[in-house]
């Protein structure tokens, strides 16, 4: 059972259904959340949408993003970090812009096509009782439902997190921003990337989203309310004065991770497990990675694998979530924090930074860091880990398909000349001839490469 039909909960349900599991999704609201939220996903996350069966539909409602420009208070470009056009190593554009309600709509449409997923709206979860092999869930009306497991994907104010006493580790102070979604009758003459205004007096972000939509965000000053802000004047700085304001709301950006991610067969994913300021556009991305990594483990446990497999959920996801939240807080401060003296220092540093070759790809990189050695990652104790613990790249095959479509839902063994490792108990991979595949990238030309269902390289042969 999944609690919460946000993008993370719906993706979890689709991933489990593709493994043949029946899933009930409980959602307290009748309709999807309509307020402005995520606009950016990277290629790793679109790969998760591919696993859920919605990446092609996502490509139709999104567009590739050009990069990041840092501007001073007068709108002059301090530095530009450009993205390379075209597909990246994961088979999709390295960054895509979209409107979160569009993504939620297409996820709901896919859920409606899957007989194994039942979405029940208007059901608010209020209680949980844990059993060794399952969970009893109660809703507000007192009705009871039995589940083999519960994924708490119920967002930043998660009831499931509260019910399991998840607690939280704060990683930064809340920051208040005005967030506005805009619509333009004719395309605006603007650079097609993210504009970040590094003005400590009025930090701002502006970006074209997709179609006729644009997003503007302005940090609120102490005591300032949304109604106090002269929005048309601020939008005019980006040439967007004539756009229609669809929504303008205040968000207090939090920065934290849950202290506990699991109690028995109840597990937290998405904003229920971590909350990040959106400076690097990774909040939803973290949640999609959570469920991609968890769906196959939960499926295996429900099929009889040892329940301790679920302990790797937090072990594998929390360090990444913590690092990204910290990075978002730090970059947010570096780009927009401090006072006038910091602004001068920032200008000097950026003047140097723009001359550093290869810095763009470093600044914009959002790769999931390599997983540490563990029961599902056979990294050597000493010496370089090579590609183990890292996501396998996804080249396009000669017939136009992407690699993941060939790998299927489970484990995969890419082998040359029939070489095979001793496989972990219960692992029955799909075996593919690696010599018939396009080059996979540095360190992956081996006798064999064992790939987990979430496309993490679990082990490689020495040669």
The residues that touch ligand FAD, with contacts defined as CB under 6 A, are 3-9, 26-29, 33, 36-41, 100, 124-125, 153-155, 159, 179, 251, 270-271, 278, 281-285, 287
- As measured in angstroms, the least distance from the Cβ of 49 to ligand FAD is 12
- Please report how close the Cβ of residue 98 comes to ligand FAD at its closest, in angstroms: 9
> Rounded to the nearest whole angstrom, what is the least distance from the CB of residue 281 to ligand FAD in the complex?
3
Instruction: Considering the complex, state which of residue 249 and residue 436 has its C-beta at the smaller distance from ligand FAD.
Output: 249
What is the C-alpha to C-alpha distance for residues 271 and 284, in angstroms, rounded to an integer?
Answer: 8
**What's the min distance (Å) between Cβ of 300 and ligand FAD?**
23
In sequence order, which residues have a C-beta less than 8 Å from that of residue 171 and are 6 or more positions away?
255, 256, 257, 322, 325, 326, 329
Of 81 and 251, the one with the shorter C-beta distance to ligand FAD is 251
Q: Which residues contact 274 (CB under 8 A, 6 or more apart)?
A: 256, 257, 258, 283, 286, 318, 321, 322, 325
Q: At its nearest, how many Å lie between ligand FAD and the CB of residue 165?
A: 16
Q: How far is the CB of 393 from ligand FAD (least distance, A)?
A: 22
Residue (134 or 281) nearer to ligand FAD, CB:
281
Q: Which is nearer to ligand FAD, 42 or 454 (CB)?
A: 42
If the CB atoms of residues 35 and 419 are measured against ligand FAD, the closer one turns out to be 35
For residues 29 and 48, give the distance between their C-alpha atoms in angstroms, rounded to a whole number.
25
Q: Give Cα separations from 371 to 305, 313, 315, 458 (angstroms).
A: 21, 12, 9, 9
Compare residues 37 and 317 and give the one whose CB is closer to ligand FAD: 37
Q: What is the DSSP annotation of 220-282?
A: PPTT--GGGS-HHHHHHTTT-TTSEEEEEEEEEE--EEES--EETTEEE-GGGTEE--GGGS-
Nearer to ligand FAD among residue 180 and residue 457 (C-beta): 180
CA 253 to chain centre: 17
Q: How far apart are alpha carbons 29 and 14 in whole angstroms? A: 19
- Distance from C-alpha of 2 to C-alpha of 15, rounded to nearest angstrom: 12
Instruction: Give the separation between CA 149 and CA 296, rounded to whole angstroms.
Output: 13
C-beta of 287 vs 421, nearer to ligand FAD: 287
Beta carbons of 83 and 191 less than 8 angstroms apart: no
Q: Which residue is nearest to ligand FAD (CB)?
A: 6
Shortest spacing between CB 268 and ligand FAD, in angstroms:
9
Considering the complex, what minimum distance in angstroms separates the CB of residue 64 from ligand FAD? Answer: 14
Nearest distance from C-beta of residue 321 to ligand FAD, angstroms: 11
What are the angstrom distances between the C-alpha of 347 and each of 1, 194, 335, 343? 51, 18, 10, 6
- Tell me the two tokens of residue 459: 């082990």
Hey, what are 180's tokens? 């506005």
CB-nearer residue toward ligand FAD: 17 or 153: 153
Say if CB 134 and CB 265 are below 8 A apart.
yes
Q: How far apart are CA 337 and CA 148, in angstroms?
A: 47
The vertex-34 CA angle with 295 and 294, nearest 5°, equals: 10
Nearer to ligand FAD, 251 or 411 (CB): 251
Q: How far is the CB of 312 from ligand FAD (least distance, A)?
A: 20
Q: Which is nearer to ligand FAD, 31 or 401 (CB)?
A: 31
CB of 242 to ligand FAD, least distance (A): 23
């Amino acid at each position: 059972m999944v609690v919460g039909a946000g993008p993370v909960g719906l993706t979890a349900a689709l991933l489990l259904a593709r493994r043949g599991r029946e899933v009930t999704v409980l959602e307290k609201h009748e309709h999807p959340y309509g307020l402005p939220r995520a606009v950016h996903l990277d290629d790793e996350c679109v790969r998760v949408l591919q696993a859920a069966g919605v990446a092609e539909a996502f490509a139709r409602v999104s567009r590739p993003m050009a990069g990041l420009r840092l501007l001073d208070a007068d709108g002059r470009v301090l530095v530009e970090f450009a993205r390379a056009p075209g597909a990246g190593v994961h088979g999709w554009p390295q960054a895509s812009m979209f409107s979160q309600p569009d993504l939620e709509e297409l996820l709901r449409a896919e859920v409606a096509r899957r007989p194994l997923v039942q979405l029940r709206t208007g059901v608010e979860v209020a209680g949980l009782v844990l059993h060794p092999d399952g969970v009893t869930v109660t809703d507000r009306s007192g009705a009871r439902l039995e589940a083999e497991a519960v994924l708490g994907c119920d967002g930043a104010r998660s009831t499931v997190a509260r019910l399991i006493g998840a607690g939280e580790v704060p990683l930064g102070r809340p920051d208040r921003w005005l967030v506005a979604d805009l619509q333009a009758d004719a395309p605006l003459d603007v650079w097609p990337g993210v504009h970040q205004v590094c003005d400590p007096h009025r930090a701002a972000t502006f970006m074209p989203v997709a179609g006729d939509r644009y997003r503007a965000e302005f940090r609120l000053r102490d005591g300032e309310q949304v109604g106090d802000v002269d929005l048309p004047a601020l939008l005019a700085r980006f040439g967007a004065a004539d756009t229609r304001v669809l929504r303008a709301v205040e968000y207090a950006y939090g920065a934290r991770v849950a202290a506990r991610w699991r109690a028995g067969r109840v597990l937290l994913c998405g904003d229920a497990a971590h909350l990040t300021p959106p400076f690097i556009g990774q909040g939803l991305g973290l949640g999609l990675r959570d469920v991609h990594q968890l769906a196959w483990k939960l499926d295996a446990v429900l099929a009889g694998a040892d329940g301790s497999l679920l302990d790797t959920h937090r072990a594998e996801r929390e360090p990444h979530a913590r690092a990204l939240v910290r990075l978002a807080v730090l970059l947010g401060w570096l780009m927009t924090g401090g006072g006038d003296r910091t602004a001068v220092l920032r200008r000097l540093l950026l003047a140097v930074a723009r001359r550093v070759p290869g810095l763009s790809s470093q600044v914009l990189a959002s790769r999931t860091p390599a997983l540490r050695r563990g029961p599902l990652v056979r990294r050597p104790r000493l010496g370089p880990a090579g590609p183990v613990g890292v996501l396998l790249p996804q080249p396009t095959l000669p017939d136009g398909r992407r690699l993941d479509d060939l790998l299927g839902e489970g484990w995969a063994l890419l082998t040359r000349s029939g070489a095979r490792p001793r496989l972990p108990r219960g692992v029955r991979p799909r075996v593919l001839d690696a010599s018939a595949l396009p080059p996979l990238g540095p360190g992956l030309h081996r006798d064999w490469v064992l790939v987990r269902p979430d496309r993490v390289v679990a082990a490689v042969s020495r040669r």
